Structure 1
């Protein structure tokens, strides 16, 4: 394993127009976003541009002059393989991204994801009953005892990961919480954790690929292997990096989305009541919860050629940071954007991105969150012990590190 190099404070560039590691910002970034949007739609920093508004974020996402290339985002998200570090699927550009994404989308169709619901509900009930039996009337950390294991076990069930890996994968879901953050924002320990998680995901993936070669199944791993063996469309390394990417994204997104949604509803009792009373509007409710408090706060793009964003010239090779969390609170697009309103209809939110790089794990994250909320709020009476739980400290993927509650079964 290569030695980790961490920049000193004086060497770190000012990537964003605010301090993303400030504890007050991490607790609630949306006031900062509002101030910055009022000042300007686009801010120039030492590292490039930060785009704050919905319209401009959407425009860049749809502009093929912007991609990942070999920018900071791609460099910080390489997957270790026997042939050296390789790009993750989510940070590839066309045509490779187009070819691989078409295959991966098979695993996340609406039909396939919805078929997983009964298994997710069973896991959710089991986890919460176990938590009540363990803690009684005492505090329960929903993050570690519900959100994280539910997200990981759901994804593992979908992909077909053997049960003996469950505890290890749950730990990966915890330790990889800052997996998409710029490397220079991490401590040496955090960077080492990220490296360890990626190597662990690759190790499990290699074992699964070997097993599926000997014992093919009807799952995404077997599908990718069959394509690779049928011709030259997929290389051995592409199978490895694609499956490992599914794990790394899938373990993180559902637990983060569920945790943020739980806290939002517990802090808004009237919206919680609406959610329970209107299961027929579950899709719309989940969209609003994702808009209100986005797990994916920002995304990086590289200018692949000279371009222009909001009146700023962008040279090829410059970084552009798309502030999804800010775009989702843009008053030009959403009326009363700081209000959680599950009856809201309108523009699609940026909680999981947009366009060709829309988060591959988004359908699973939303379904797992919906089922988790149904079980938690419908069968138990959770009481939040703090309105502002601590976050995981991530710049890119917002999540709660702890969610202390008391749990009381209904009836």
Structure 2
């Protein structure tokens, strides 16, 4: 179904997606990459052009702005992140709009071997006649979360141009570094100034998420014993061999991302670097319950201890750092923000669906820090890879939900 928002959403997504704004977990900077600020500065300019108030780019890289209220009501936050995932190439993104999708294969100009169809991505089966946006095959699209940015911007512009729509104050926040778990600076909750908020960072139409993984990060460092390989017998301790042993000792079934689903947690080896003298394993640990998260962390430590006892000349350390926690722990105490958006989803003719997120959002940290923040769909699919796609019409549904949500908050 075509809407008044389609053209604007398409133009915004295509414009935003072409900007390289990947984050980088290895960088200590805030934000982690300077290129994210190109996107942030563009948003500052666009917000000023549409008449938003209090437009600010904070020194920690978040774009903040206000849509003034037209009726008494609570202050609501709308959040989306400007960075794209570092796991796949995002330099030189060339968005492609496939108008009036015919239900068959979508091909990619820069990667002819790739094909996108309902067999690969089942949600496409219901998208015939809609306008599908992809990249050209050699990059990710960046719909995660340029789609969320486009939705929030379009809804904000609409409210600013239609002051007859009753709504309370709306605070916009466009964050960097969400993909590496650093999107919510400790100063953000106070600077946002919202009673509750929503991230636009979800998938299929109708989905409202208020339960996420709890997450820890882990770094295992292995220091071996260096020796000339020609004279190493009885002397060398190869750090890489110990790294391989640690990884092999971790459960390979029902505890890795590729063997789990639903509410099952995992331990994921995300990176190995180093050489025979010193090496490092980076892992992420995920579970929906804190008890399960702690058990997986304890298992990793135990594996490191056992491998270390087998080679006492080596030094093996395991550092586990909390990242974010399941937002359900806080939201289940007061489901008002969830019920509000469920009603807004129903207002636009959709059936609200809530499923646990096998991941996290900026809302996980905001909720933990005192700003209840469920997650709302955008339509994005097959994210973080070359087959990423989104329907413009799905984005329009999310925009309609945002506007209905604004109305609902003062009714």
Compute the TM-score of the two structures, normalised by the length of structure 1. Answer: 0.24
Task: Tell me which structure has the larger Cα radius of gyration.
Answer: 2
Judging by fraction of residues, say which structure has more helix. Answer: 1
User: Which of structures 1 and 2 has the larger relative contact order (alpha carbons within 8 angstroms, sep 6+)?
Assistant: 1
Judging by fraction of residues, say which structure has more strand. Answer: 2
